[in-house]
Structure 1
Amino acid sequence: MREIVFDTETTGLSFSGGDRLVEIGCVEMINRVETGQVFHAYYHPERPMAAEAQAVHGLSDAFLSDKPRFADAADALIAFIGDAPLIAHNAGFDFSFLNGELHKCGRSLVCTTRMIDTLQIARQRHPGAKHTLDALCSRYGIDRSHRVLHGALLDAQLLAQVYVELMGGRQIGLSLVSETATAAVAASAARPAASVRPARTFQPSEGELAAHAAFLSKVSDPIWTAA
């Protein structure tokens, strides 16, 4: 199964309030194993960067000044995510910006049925604990020492590891009975029962006993008659 883990960086907290998407990072997973295929892009927000947001991700107006507008670069992102489920931490936030940008440039929205929220999963699995990405990395022993500022691709890569742990860990793909073996057992059970042959009789006949006695009578000095 193909899934996309993603994260976004923005100019603020509300797309409906005028904030815009400035960075997105996506990590492809097949059967919850990273394939090495990623998507990463920066976008010009067409508005000034809020100081509070820049303090979080470090993306300045000067850095974003030569980046494409989302509308001009949306095709590559749309092609990468395809129709796969999309996994994010506090996914409602990321979906609001992704779909806000898609709507703004006249593209089809991503259906929220494709949304998987690792924050909700973490709350169910670890009630009462801290559920930030940093806290979950600490819980599962995931190295985040290189995470100084928020970055969409780096956070998506960390979240991909957290997601695997939330869903059962690295052993999720292991099974004592493989799918092939299971299918073989099922196929065997579906076969019609073989007809049972009647038991063979090995009791010697009268003629065989007489022939055997005649043969033994010709043996000279047999050991079975020795004293």
Structure 2
Amino acid sequence: MSRIVILLVLFALVMLVATMTVGLSLGDLQATVRDYRHVSAKIADAERRYTDATARLPELRAERDELDAALAWAEWHRLLGIATAIVVILVNSIVVTYFIGTGRWCREVSETYRLDPCFVDESGSLKWRAISWSFVCTAAVVTTVALGGSADPAATGRLDHGPVWAEAHFIAALVAVAVVAYCFYVQWIKVGENAEIIAGIMAAVRRKQAERNAAPVA
């Protein structure tokens, strides 16, 4: 399980870094949207009637195409952000499911073979610590996505709220990368520790079975 978790974690982190890289390449998205609307309005006006901008139509169209290409990267950033959030939540869900399943297995096996209760206690402690970090990780990503939506003029349709939300989104993204990386590291460690508990239970079960087999038949 540790190998599977580390592969999933690396994939999620790569997506997280890729999303942030694309986002940083956008620059001032609100200014880009503002310029695009301004140029598009000029083109529309020049196409309807003769104005001073009519002679500059080819130049204006080229400028609009450049701005349109920049906005296309913004769309990629949105899609990557959503996909990354889904992947991060999926990885956390897998970890939570793993601990819930193995925790129940540890309890059932311990009760069946009357093993030391410490196995169940340790497994339960690991489970709740791992789940807690999963919630922290998920909250960091969801918060970043929410702030990104607030900063996106395509989502809000507004250009009058300045760079406040964009800066908040940027800071949240930086924090999220650190938080997600740390949470994944902790979860990976906990998965390894849980594997040791499972190995201990299996060893105890084998000893119990060996004792039963060695016991004289009445």
The TM-score normalised by the length of structure 2 is 0.28
Q: Which structure has the highest helix share of the two?
A: 2
Q: Which structure has the highest strand share of the two?
A: 1
Decide which structure has the larger Cα Rg and report it: 1
